[in-house]
Amino acid sequence: MNRHLFMLLGVLVVLGGCSLTPEYTRPEAPVPTAWPTGPAYDASPASTDAAPVAEIAWREFFTDERMQRVIATAIENNRDLRLAALNVQRARGIYGIQRAALFPALDATASGSKKRVPADLSSSGERYTAEQYDVNLGVYAWEIDFFGRLRSLRDQALEAYLATDEARRSTQILIVSAVGETYLTLAADLDALKIAQTTFDAQKATYSLVKRRYDVGLATELDLNFAQTQVDIARRDMARYTQRVAQDENALNFLVGNPSPVSGANLPEDLAGIKPLRAIDPGISSEVLLDRPDIIQAEHLLKAANANIGAARAALFPRISLTTTVGTASAELSGLFEAGSGTWLFAPQIVMPIFDARLWSALDVTKAEQEIALAQYEQAIQTAFREVADSLAVQGMVDEQLAAQQSLVRATAETYRLSEARYLKGIDSYLGVLVAQRSLFAAQQVLVALNLSKRANQVRLYAVLGGGTH
């Protein structure tokens, strides 16, 4: 009997090889194969053999040692990244549970009972005490995966686990780029604060000059009031940029997640003092987007939804389960392992769904979820393409804007110098000096913003091309 039992088990396992999961084919990317071109983009041809950005380690991209130390601390301590890693562990455990369901669970049981049977219930008409002891080794309610339901659930759990791991990589990219941009923003606001301080000092000196001229009758009260307003405006700007610097430091410390704030030795002094970022080449094909963790994550979720369809289809077919035990039993504890006390149990069960509307509705749900996952996958690719295209547009035009702004700063500085000289000679009113001062300050602040925009865009381009995971 045991031989026949094991033969039957082997046949069922072999036959349990069919799957009702639809065959998966990667969808076509709903974006052009090449990056956009036009007046806003760099006209120089892209390299055909450039190293994929996703393979460039963040330490190779961020060349400044202070930034490297801050980013490394963030990777180690950031709570979002820690939560992402814990989610990976949880998903791995769920996958292990689903995979284990494919294999029988072998249990050993031992039991003993003793009961008194009254005379009116006894076949002999006399009361007696009944005893029973048994020891068994067996498999209980093991589902034989004949139609692939359990394998589909295992595949779904595997894809969900892989998607979670890609989500962790996406989180790291986000953290690395956010720390980089915040660090650069802090440096730019420090530059802006220095300009505000210099402007404030200049405005105070100008006010003192106008006050002396007013005292000797060479300046009007209107000129003095104009000079005072400029001092107040400059003082306000100093307070505003001091606040922004403090907020930038708070944002940086939040991203880093370390109990101790980022030390002064690792903080920037200005934007120019930060070593240049490594130049990167997006290549000529948009297919590099398929290496982005968020797109890989979306594809794993699409595969998981595809596997769920297989599980829902298999639920419509008979479900075969098996309980079998081998052991020994005796009416006396001492005779439990004597010859002739062996027992066995073979109890297969087949459940055949006849009518259950819930199963058909569940199948419809899984098909809808697969369509949703497909749309999300395509949307992720389109979003990634737009992000790269936007960064390439900034990269193509930011140098031209910088050149124009640098020329503007030189021109406004010269205008301010000439206006002040003409005022001191009594040729023009103080209003011309006032306008020239404000124009110079505004031009200097825009130049700082453009320098920040160029560097921050380099960080964004590195991130949207999938860099920052190594």
362-393 pLDDT, tens digit per residue, is 888 988 988 999 999 999 999 999 999 999 99
Supply 234's token pair.
Answer: 């400059």
Interval 343-356 mean pLDDT: 79
> Could you tell me if residue 38 is left (phi over 0), alpha (psi between -120 and 50 degrees) or otherwise beta?
left
**Token duo for residue 262:** 């980022």
Band of pLDDT at residue 18, cut at 50, 70 and 90: low
**Confidence grade of residue 15 (pLDDT, cut at 50, 70, 90):** very low
Query: 3-class SS at 36?
Result: coil
The pLDDT of residue 49 is 66
Task: Region of 172 please: left (phi>0), alpha (psi -120 to 50) or beta.
Answer: alpha
Beta bridge partners of residue 128, listed in sequence order: 117
Please answer whether residues 67 and 274 qualify as being in contact, where contact means their C-beta atoms are separated by less than 8 angstroms: yes
Residue 340, pLDDT score = 67
pLDDT of residue 113: 79
User: Is the predicted pLDDT of residue 357 greater than 70, yes or no?
Assistant: yes
DSSP 259-280: SSPPPGGGS-S-STTSPPPPP-
Neighbours of 246 (CB within 10 A): 12
* Per-residue confidence band for 1, with pLDDT thresholds at 50, 70 and 90: very low
**Cα distance between residue 271 and residue 186, in whole Å:** 8
Picking from 282, 281, 286, 284, the residue whose alpha carbon sits closest to that of residue 32 is 286
**Dihedral sign, CA of 140, 145, 147, 149?**
positive
Distance CA 260, CA 78 (A): 13
d(CA 456, CA 470): 20
Residue-wise pLDDT for 400-415, tens only, equals: 999 999 999 999 999 9
Residue type, position 445, single letter: Q
Which among 372, 371, 366, 368 is positioned nearest to 315, based on CA atoms? 366
**Is-same-fold flag (18-102+145-316+381-464; 105-144+318-352)?**
no
Q: Is the pLDDT of residue 2 over 60?
A: no
Measured CA to CA, the distance from residue 37 to residue 280 in angstroms comes to 18
The type of residue at 341 is S
Identify the band that residue 339 occupies on the pLDDT scale cut at 50, 70 and 90: confident
The fold adopted by the segment(s) 105-144+318-352 is Outer membrane efflux proteins (OEP) (2.20.200)
CA-CA distances (angstroms) from residue 460 to 58, 136, 280, 298, 310?
13, 64, 11, 21, 40
Average of per-residue pLDDT values in the chain: 84
Q: What's the whole-number mean pLDDT along residues 41-58?
A: 76
Mean pLDDT, residues 247-273: 88
Strand partners, 415: none
Q: Of 245, 251, 164, 206, which Cα lies nearest the Cα of 448? A: 245
Secondary structure (DSSP) of 122-134: -TTSS-EEEEEEE
Strand order in 342-351's β-sheet? 106-117, 128-144, 319-330, 342-351
CA gap 392, 288 in Å, rounded:
15
User: Quick one: average pLDDT of 337-364?
Assistant: 79
Pairing mode, strands 128-144 and 319-330: antiparallel
Domain range list for the chain: 18-102+145-316+381-464, 105-144+318-352
Q: Is 56 exposed, middle or buried (0-12, 13-18, 19+ CB in 10 A)?
A: buried
The answer on pLDDT for 5 being more than 50 is: no
Range among 77-81, 164-168, 236-240, 311-315 with highest mean pLDDT value? 236-240
pLDDT higher for 440 or 118?
440
Dihedral sign for Cα atoms in the order 208, 209, 210, 216: positive
> Looking at the DSSP assignment, which residues form a beta bridge with residue 343?
327
Spatial distance between the Cα atoms of 290 and 294, rounded to a whole number of angstroms: 9
335: confidence class by pLDDT, cuts 50, 70, 90: low
- What are 432's two structure tokens? 């011309």
H helix intervals, 36-148: 58-61, 65-77, 79-100
Predicted pLDDT at 249: 92
Q: Which CATH number fits domain 18-102+145-316+381-464: 1.20.1600.10, 3.90.180.10, 3.20.20.70, 3.40.50.2000?
A: 1.20.1600.10
**pLDDT number for residue 261:** 84
State the burial class of residue 467 (Cβ atoms within 10 Å of its Cβ: 0-12, 13-18, 19+): buried
Which two three-digit tokens encode residue 332?
């006396």
Is 443:415 a contact under the CB 8 Å cutoff? Answer: no
pLDDT in tens, 418-461: 988 887 787 877 788 888 888 999 999 999 999 999 999 999 99
Neighbouring residues of 24: CB distance < 8 A, sequence distance ≥ 6: 303, 306
* pTM score: 0.82
> What is the three-class DSSP state of 410?
helix
